[in-house]
Amino acid sequence: MSEQQLRGVILTPEGFVDGQVTVGRERIVAVDGVAVDEATARAACRPGVPLIVPGFIDLHVHGGGGRDVMDAGDAITTIAAAHVRCGTTSLLATTMTAPLDEIEAALSAVAASCGQRSHGCARVLGVHLEGPYINPERLGAQPAFATPASIEQIRSLNRLAPLRVITMAPEMPGHLELITALRDEGFLVQIGHSAGSYDDGVAALQHGATGFTHLFNAMTGLHHREPGMVGAALAHAQHAELIPDLLHVHPGAIRAALRAIPCVYCVSDATAAATMPDGDYRLGRHRVLKCMGGVRLPDGRLAGSALTLDQALRNLVGLGLPLAEASARVSRIAADYLGLAERGRIVTGAYADLVALDAQLEVRHVYAQGERIDIPHAA
Q: Say how far apart CA 210 and CA 81 lie, in whole Å.
A: 29
Which residues, 6 or more positions from 299, have their beta carbon under 8 angstroms from its beta carbon?
none
Residue 138: pLDDT over 90: yes
Domain regions of the chain by residue span: 4-53+344-373, 56-338
Residue 282: pLDDT over 90: yes
The 10s digit of each residue's pLDDT in 318-331 is 999 999 999 999 99
The 10s digit of each residue's pLDDT in 164-198 is 999 999 999 999 999 999 999 999 999 999 999 99
**349: alpha, beta or left? (left if phi > 0; alpha if psi -120 to 50):** left
Mean pLDDT value across residues 291-319: 96
CATH number for the domain whose boundaries are 56-338: 3.20.20.140
Q: Say how far apart CA 215 and CA 303 lie, in whole Å.
A: 15
Mean pLDDT value across residues 270-279: 98
Which residues, 6 or more positions from 120, have their beta carbon under 8 angstroms from its beta carbon?
81, 84, 371, 373
Q: Characterize the bridge pairing of strands 302-305 and 294-296.
A: antiparallel
**28: alpha, beta or left? (left if phi > 0; alpha if psi -120 to 50):** beta
pLDDT of residue 379: 40
Give the active site residue among 58, 200, 245, 269: 269
Q: Say how far apart CA 28 and CA 12 lie, in whole Å.
A: 12
The pLDDT confidence band at residue 1, using thresholds 50, 70 and 90, is low
CB neighbour class for 298 (10 Å; exposed up to 12, middle 13-18, buried from 19): exposed
Residue 304: pLDDT over 70: yes
The 10s digit of each residue's pLDDT in 199-209 is 999 999 999 99
Mean pLDDT value across residues 279-299: 95
Known catalytic membership, residue 269: yes
CATH number for the domain whose boundaries are 4-53+344-373: 2.30.40.10
pLDDT of residue 376: 73
Q: Characterize the bridge pairing of strands 286-291 and 63-64.
A: unpaired
